[in-house]
Chain A
Amino acid sequence: MSGESDIPFVEETGHEEPDETSGFREQPDFERLEASPTVDELFAPASDEPPFSRCVLTTSLHLSVAAESRTNRWTDWNGYTTPEILTTIDDEYRALRQAAALSDISPMVKYRISGRDAASYLDRLVADNVMRLSVDEVMPVVFCEDRGFVVGDGHLFRLGESEYRLVTEETHLAWLLDSALGFQVHVEDVGAALAALSLQGPHAAAVLNAAGFYDIETIRPYAARWFDLGGIPVYASRTGATGELGYELWVDPEDAPMLWARLFDKGAEFGLAATGYAVRELARIEAGIPRVGCDYLGAFAAVDLADASTPFELGLASLVDLESGHFTGRDALRRLKQREPRHLVVSMALDFPEPVQFCAVEREGAIDGTATSIGFSPALGLNLALARLRYRTGPVALSVEVDFREGLSVRRLKIPARLLTEAVIGSPMRHAVPAPLLAEF
């Protein structure tokens, strides 16, 4: 298309030919350099910026985490920049299983639920009995819609008599508010107002103790307590989805970098290392914990209803209490419990000495399910996977087909897989009270 036009246009003035001095600047453009934002400004949260200006947000710990990154490998977790791997997956994994691993879990979704009816509201929302949760205790919860399909799962913290915190993987504000009709309850998204750190590993209690969390070892699993760290209030809970002794620390975003620095300062002698999302996923797969949006889809996100699951299909039956009071989906779950599940989310192991990728899971030669999370456990030398398999009774002979590449050649292998009935890794220390302050191994 020609750039010529027959219409006479008035050219704007000010578009003069650049003179030689401005065309070949020898001095750097200091004004421009000074006008460009500093690193701190670049990552400062700006509430008035339009959504398109940043596709991925950063947490308050971003600069602290970035300083630990030797790989510059990042990923997106719930719309936040999260390190995939900071050093090497082997080193990070070793820190998790042998020492202590610190990660920024601020991208988790957090809701504050308060008000006179908070307890009864939550009791109707989640499938378990919330009334037995005491202050400073935590329980894993699953919540369903009225047909019994899981909307999401997470952890419920009781912070006070009528104040709770629900921590989930996905956002559920619409569902929480819709369910709140008729209750005197206030639901608030505090995701951005609360930073969270996860400290996991056999030395976790020791690191915290050294950093000033006195009596941390007395916290029982799924319990929590407030600490005062030289003026920084930190809420520490003995939780974490790694099958390891571990804690999660909840703190004001402004204080989070200070806490991070203090933990590194005091934790260095215990081998504390910062870890990324890849190790978090690997630990989750080793522990056999399905993640919403990955191993199953929430009922409101599943376009195909077959992609949604009931708690029984996810192996979360222990989080469903059908006896002690009404909750959303109870009638449906009572019926579903009598029926065969449509599918099961299971853990599988593949005896193959190298990491492989696969998707279809076969039973007697026919595709029978989907591998939804895959990880290679360096400790066990095994490929592990979470998979959604069609429910069948009787003997199981599972296999997967793998395109195994060596150099530029590829072999198609059929590898037998076996079902795992319990988590392959689970440190006995994770139940110990008091938690060991000095590891004896």
Chain B
Amino acid sequence: MERHDAIIIGGGLNGLTAAAYLARSGARVLLLERNAALGGADASYEIVPGFNISRYNLGASTLPARIVSELDLASHGLRFIRVDGGVSLLDGGGYIASYRDGAVHRRELARHSLKDADGWTRFRRDILRGAQQLRPLLAGPMSDPTRRSFSTLRRLLKTASRWGARDVGELHELTRLWTLPCADFLDDYFSSDAVKTRLAADALAGTSLGPRAPTGARHLLGAFIDETMGASGGAPARVLAIGGSSAIARALGAVIEAHGGTIRTEAEVTDVLLREGSARGVVLANGEEIQARAILSDLDLKRTFLALFPWSALPEGFVERVGRFSMRGLSAKINIALDSAPEFPAVPAGCPALLGGLRLATSLDEMDRASDDWRDGIPPRVPLIDMLIPTLADPSLAPHGRHVLSVAVHYVPETLHDGVWTGERRDELTDLVVARIAEASPGIRDRIVALETLTPPDIESEVGMTSGDLSHGETTLDQMFFNRPSPALSGYETPIRNLYLCSQSVHPGPLGIGHAGANAAALVAASLRRRG
């Protein structure tokens, strides 16, 4: 029987990051991935030969800069390009774009409202302040603040003294940012609906919240987490990995193998071997048993515990608590191959922001209605549609002159109020979305070479994310920080000894993909060293 120091279940970006850090620290690691391709939800595939497209996510995932440099992913071939933030189409034919250049971005806002160009300065200040306060919380591990340990006490004191030195007004601003609905928060800075809708959709895409749902404003921070004060003052850049998000997975895989780790794809783990309440290894679908001193799960919380363990082996009440962790499918994915570049007459030729994506026309009211539909279990009648044409910035993804179009359809429920997703209903959704795209891009139907739609249940059955939830658990306030997934589990350890969680289900979740993997790996590496 094989023996390893650590087995990582699941080859998503967090699992790969954990494996890479552990391998680098000298541990013998084995990473097991059920599918043929690495990357989990960031895996890509050839929709038709030669056309590479991110299968589940939009295709703009990145890793925190610290992880990229610590793991030296550059020397394993990973390259990034920074592009403008994208374009939103408007009802009635206009558009609004996000530019990295401060002066250009302000002039773009001034096209919609002269006043909003200045509103941007203050908005950016407040969001950057919020991001600065959030940033140190994301990189580090998070533990139950009520736990009586020296380190929690020290961290609490540090936080308290940091806040003591600050202006009271800043605390008020921060409270507003974390509690207000997105639309109300934006009203304070902007008057143009186009500007507000663009920012609200940037923030809320991929969540269940509508722009008028409480606590939505905090999602505005997401895009600014990596933004520094020194930037030129425009909108945050969108960072794309050359070769697509799966290139990140490939580079992480190369790091693991360079440090002597092993990666096995098409190796599905069906059970975790337990001895005296402690994880000792895994069982594969083909019956093979592999032992290891530590097991890290990059699967979501529910799948980890409800699928890999006999429920009777778990502590009293634990199964119910895990069952209550809220995971909801939120987005469908449509992958399209095009035989020529799509045209968008509303966007002036040569607009550089198109490289960062294109959002079809929507409004705050329509987003609200889509969010209501989602809650009611109805396929959204006016969905929020985000598109990325990665081949504009990275032509290597498709044959010369051809393109791929990656479409994320948001506010798509996993369970429908009147049944399940059937092939017919999937086709209805596809037709609706393609009709909307065709409104913005006449002639696109004739350019489509291949098209594939994945509903949340499709995503669940292929990548295994419960309910097709790409963020491994809703990012509501009650499921963040030390509450992700629960105070007892937030520190990456679980009730099963030697079993660790390193997926997006634990802090910081989708706010910083890779951090959970890196933090869990540090914990495991220390534990392996202690045990010799």
Which residues does A use to contact B, with CB under 8 Å? Answer: 1-7, 9, 50-53, 55-56, 76, 78-79, 147, 171-175, 177, 189, 298, 300-305
B282 beta carbon closer than 8 Å to chain A: no
B449's nearest neighbour on chain A, judged by CB, is A7
A298's nearest neighbour on chain B, judged by CB, is B121
Stretch at the interface among B16-24, B30-38, B122-130, B145-153: B122-130
Chain B, residues 107-133, CB within 8 Å of chain A (1/0): the string is 110010011111101100100110010
Q: Contacts A173-B117, A303-B125 known; A52 to B103 CB distance under 8 Å? A: no
| B104 and A55 contacting across the interface, CB-CB below 8 Å | yes
| A175 and B351 contacting across the interface, CB-CB below 8 Å | no
| A50 and B348 contacting across the interface, CB-CB below 8 Å | yes
- Report how far A52 CA is from B108 CA in the complex, Å: 8
| A173 and B115 contacting across the interface, CB-CB below 8 Å | yes
B350's contact among A4, A52, A301, by CB below 8 Å, is which?
Answer: A52
B440 beta carbon closer than 8 Å to chain A: no
B48 beta carbon closer than 8 Å to chain A: yes
Q: Contacts A9-B339, A303-B128, A303-B132 known; A175 to B118 CB distance under 8 Å? A: yes
B97 beta carbon closer than 8 Å to chain A: yes
- Which residues of chain A come closer than 8 Å to B399, judged between CB atoms? 2-5
16 pairs, A vs B, C-beta closer than 8 Å: A2-B50, A5-B48, A5-B50, A5-B402, A7-B339, A9-B339, A50-B348, A52-B350, A52-B352, A172-B118, A173-B115, A174-B117, A174-B118, A177-B115, A304-B229, A305-B166
| B351 and A3 contacting across the interface, CB-CB below 8 Å | no
B289 beta carbon closer than 8 Å to chain A: no
- Report how far A222 CA is from B304 CA in the complex, Å: 75
| B50 and A4 contacting across the interface, CB-CB below 8 Å | yes
| B350 and A174 contacting across the interface, CB-CB below 8 Å | no
B482 beta carbon closer than 8 Å to chain A: no
Given contacts A52-B104, A300-B118, 18 further A-B contacts (CB under 8 A): A1-B50, A1-B52, A3-B50, A3-B400, A6-B48, A7-B49, A7-B339, A9-B339, A9-B402, A52-B97, A172-B118, A173-B114, A175-B118, A300-B125, A301-B121, A303-B125, A303-B129, A305-B170
CB B324 to nearest CB in A, in angstroms, measures: 39
B99 beta carbon closer than 8 Å to chain A: yes
Q: Which of B51, B107, B353, B402: most chain A CB closer than 10 A?
A: B107
- Report how far A298 CA is from B233 CA in the complex, Å: 14
Q: Which of B97, B111, B122, B132: most chain A CB closer than 10 A?
A: B122
- Report how far A50 CA is from B350 CA in the complex, Å: 10
B109's nearest neighbour on chain A, judged by CB, is A51
- Report how far A114 CA is from B205 CA in the complex, Å: 43
| A174 and B104 contacting across the interface, CB-CB below 8 Å | no
B167 beta carbon closer than 8 Å to chain A: yes
CB B39 to nearest CB in A, in angstroms, measures: 17
B193 beta carbon closer than 8 Å to chain A: no
- Report how far A53 CA is from B108 CA in the complex, Å: 11
CB B148 to nearest CB in A, in angstroms, measures: 34
CB A54 to nearest CB in B, in angstroms, measures: 8
| B48 and A7 contacting across the interface, CB-CB below 8 Å | yes
Q: Contacts A79-B107, A177-B115, A301-B121 known; A52 to B353 CB distance under 8 Å? A: yes
A171's nearest neighbour on chain B, judged by CB, is B118
| A51 and B99 contacting across the interface, CB-CB below 8 Å | yes
B131's nearest neighbour on chain A, judged by CB, is A303
Chain B, residues 327-359, CB within 8 Å of chain A (1/0): the string is 000000000000100000000101111000000
B493 beta carbon closer than 8 Å to chain A: no
- Report how far A300 CA is from B353 CA in the complex, Å: 26
Within 8 A of A (CB), among B349-408: 350-353, 396-397, 399-400, 402
Q: Contacts A2-B50, A6-B49, A7-B49 known; A300 to B104 CB distance under 8 Å? A: no
- Report how far A52 CA is from B104 CA in the complex, Å: 6
- Which residues of chain A come closer than 8 Å to B287, judged between CB atoms? none
B315 beta carbon closer than 8 Å to chain A: no
B460 beta carbon closer than 8 Å to chain A: no
Q: Which of B108, B115, B353: most chain A CB closer than 10 A?
A: B115
| B48 and A55 contacting across the interface, CB-CB below 8 Å | no
- Which residues of chain B come closer than 8 Å to A300, judged between CB atoms? 118, 121-122, 125
- Which residues of chain B come closer than 8 Å to A2, judged between CB atoms? 50, 399
Q: Which 4 A-B pairs have the closest CB atoms?
A: A174-B118, A79-B103, A51-B107, A300-B122
- Which residues of chain A come closer than 8 Å to B125, judged between CB atoms? 300-303
A173's nearest neighbour on chain B, judged by CB, is B118
CB B15 to nearest CB in A, in angstroms, measures: 26
| A51 and B108 contacting across the interface, CB-CB below 8 Å | yes
A1's contact among B97, B114, B121, B396, by CB below 8 Å, is which?
Answer: B396
B397's contact among A1, A76, A175, A301, by CB below 8 Å, is which?
Answer: A1
| A174 and B229 contacting across the interface, CB-CB below 8 Å | no
- Report how far A50 CA is from B112 CA in the complex, Å: 12
Chain B, residues 74-105, CB within 8 Å of chain A (1/0): the string is 00000000000000000000000101010111
A49's nearest neighbour on chain B, judged by CB, is B348
- Report how far A9 CA is from B125 CA in the complex, Å: 51
B532 beta carbon closer than 8 Å to chain A: no
B136 beta carbon closer than 8 Å to chain A: no
- Report how far A175 CA is from B101 CA in the complex, Å: 22
CB A13 to nearest CB in B, in angstroms, measures: 14
B423 beta carbon closer than 8 Å to chain A: no
- Which residues of chain A come closer than 8 Å to B103, judged between CB atoms? 55-56, 76, 78-79
| A174 and B49 contacting across the interface, CB-CB below 8 Å | no
B169 beta carbon closer than 8 Å to chain A: yes
A301's nearest neighbour on chain B, judged by CB, is B121
- Which residues of chain B come closer than 8 Å to A305, judged between CB atoms? 166-167, 170
- Which residues of chain B come closer than 8 Å to A303, judged between CB atoms? 125, 128-129, 132, 229
CB B528 to nearest CB in A, in angstroms, measures: 39
Within 8 A of A (CB), among B49-72: 49-52
- Report how far A338 CA is from B198 CA in the complex, Å: 45
A305's nearest neighbour on chain B, judged by CB, is B167
- Which residues of chain A come closer than 8 Å to B51, judged between CB atoms? 5
B190's nearest neighbour on chain A, judged by CB, is A174
A5's contact among B49, B167, B396, by CB below 8 Å, is which?
Answer: B49
CB A360 to nearest CB in B, in angstroms, measures: 17
Within 8 A of A (CB), among B144-188: 166-167, 169-170
- Report how far A5 CA is from B450 CA in the complex, Å: 13
B116's nearest neighbour on chain A, judged by CB, is A174
- Which residues of chain A come closer than 8 Å to B132, judged between CB atoms? 303
Within 8 A of A (CB), among B510-532: none
- Which residues of chain B come closer than 8 Å to A175, judged between CB atoms? 118
